[in-house]
Chains A and B, each alone.
Chain A
Amino acid sequence: MDWNPLFLTFKLALVTTLLLFVVSIPLAYWLAYSKSKGKPILEAIVSLPLVLPPTVLGFYFLVAFSPNNAFGRWLEQWFGVQFVFSFTGLVIASILYSLPFMVHPIQSGLSSISPSLKEAAYVMGKSRWETLTKVLLPNIRPSLLTGVVLAFAHTVGEFGVILMIGGSIPGKTKVASVMIYEEVEALNYDNANFYSGILLVTTFVILVVVYLVNGGYLKRFFK
């Protein structure tokens, strides 16, 4: 059995989640506390991947990344890598695709904690950075966990975008979801079943763990 597609899927989800976490905290922070007029626009952009079919994203990525146009050539020269048909391209696409799943929980976590916490930290002379890392983030741990897990799970389940820009290259862009699709088309239901089963079980376990942790069941259990 070829484990490569599964390995790739989890590698993609892991890299995407790590990068998304770094990107999403400042973004969610700004969205939660800013009073700027441009906020609704940015909020709409962050939520777009929820609404748009993956084919729209995939199509735009395919065209944008193509070395046939100026933007694609610029990307290639600037970063020195081709995005289409590469793992890097999949990561970039996945970051956008899973963005709302990371930003929304963190944003709502930040907006729901009492402003007095933040104010108290400021009064005690803490900087914004210290307030964020030592007061705000520790107080929204469940939201952070939810964001991380949803982004991870959503990337594991990514299919349409990858199909359109990946090129199904074994070991590089042929992730489990694409592999399953191809096995079904080839009428190899046994193989499709194998990969699907693993994905089903793993994602189920991950979600159960999150709900256990967030629901406080584990804490109560160990008391």
Chain B
Amino acid sequence: MQYAMEELVAEFSNESGIPSQMVIGASGKLAAQITSGAPFAVFVAADTKYPEKLYQNGLCLAPPRVYAHGKLVLWTTRAAIAPNVNILDSKAIEHIAIANPTLAPYGKAAMEFMGNHQLLEKVRHKFVYGESIAQTNQFIVSGSADIGFTAQSVVLYSQLKRLGKWAPLDTSQYTPIAQAVVLLKNTELQEKRAEKFEKFLFSPKAKKILENFGYTVVK
């Protein structure tokens, strides 16, 4: 989400003249910080679980809204490996990087995907868990893990595009990753600005950016 967000936030600041700062982190960590009173105005998550939790705790102005659905890909930076589902249980693969399924939606989707391919028990011992999708990417890019599951928005990011090889995965084999945004209770000025940001996030311009990063958006 980080890379698409950078572009979205830059575009929003440009268009509205509202200077916006982005704090990047795993959804769970940010949610924990918000619960403890971190002064954020908007929470753009990579799933719906944490925004929903914040809303239930009465920290938000309105219920969370889904702004995009993310897709899962297999990614490798090993020259000798071609990314596809069938090689996961082969000997060539020693470590498979995956985001922690209890924390990160892409990790959960990857588990579901492997479960649907009857692979889960065969390859579970190969898993190495990133605490977030960002750390999972580290494992893949550094080559420490032979292959890994990540978000399509990562491999479509211009600076990572030429790094290694990736393959999209059959979207019927996992639940699309719904990503939600919530507006957080803050000062009146911040709340007004946050509303503008949410409006922007659902504008055609923002949808175009999200689509360029491989997200599915509601038309």
B-contacting residues of A (Cβ < 8 Å)?
A: 62-63, 65-69, 72, 82, 84-85, 163-165, 167-169, 174, 178, 181-182, 184-187
Contacts and interface: CB of A to CB of B under 8 A. Distances in A.
B94 interface: yes
Contact of B128 (A63, A167, A184): A167
A187 B53 contact: yes
B144 A66 contact: yes
Interface of B: 26, 28-29, 31-32, 35, 53, 77-78, 94-95, 97, 100, 102-103, 127-131, 135, 138-139, 142-145
Contacts, number: 72
Given A185-B26, A186-B102, A187-B32, A68 B95 contact: no
B131 A187 contact: no
A47 B138 CA distance: 27
Contacts of A186: 28, 102-103
A169 B28 contact: no
A82 B93 CA distance: 13
B129 A167 contact: yes
B164 to A, nearest CB: 10
Given A182-B102, A187-B28, A187-B35, A168 B142 contact: no
Contacts of A62: 138-139, 142, 144
B143 A69 contact: yes
A85 B128 contact: yes
Contacts of A165: 144
Contacts of A181: 131
Contacts of A187: 28, 31-32, 35, 53
A68 B128 contact: no
B77 A68 contact: yes
Q: What 7 A-B pairs come out closest when comparing CB atoms? A: A68-B143, A167-B128, A185-B28, A168-B129, A84-B144, A66-B143, A66-B144
B171 to A, nearest CB: 26
Most buried by A among B31, B78, B138: B138
A128 B102 CA distance: 57
A168 B143 contact: no
Contacts of B95: 82, 84-85, 167
A182 to B, nearest CB: 6
B158 to A, nearest CB: 22
Contacts of A69: 143
Nearest to B27: A185
Given A82-B94, A168-B100, 15 more contacts: A62-B138, A67-B144, A68-B142, A68-B143, A69-B143, A164-B135, A168-B129, A168-B130, A169-B127, A174-B129, A182-B100, A182-B102, A185-B26, A185-B131, A186-B28
Contacts of B102: 182, 186
A199 B110 CA distance: 33
Contacts of B143: 66-69, 72
B34 to A, nearest CB: 11
A212 B183 CA distance: 54
A69 B143 CA distance: 8
A185 B103 contact: yes
13 contacts: A63-B142, A67-B144, A68-B78, A85-B95, A85-B144, A167-B127, A168-B128, A168-B130, A178-B131, A185-B28, A185-B29, A185-B32, A185-B103
Contacts of B145: 85, 167
Contacts of B139: 62, 167
Most buried by A among B31, B94, B97, B128: B128
Nearest to B30: A185
Nearest to A65: B144
A182 B131 contact: yes
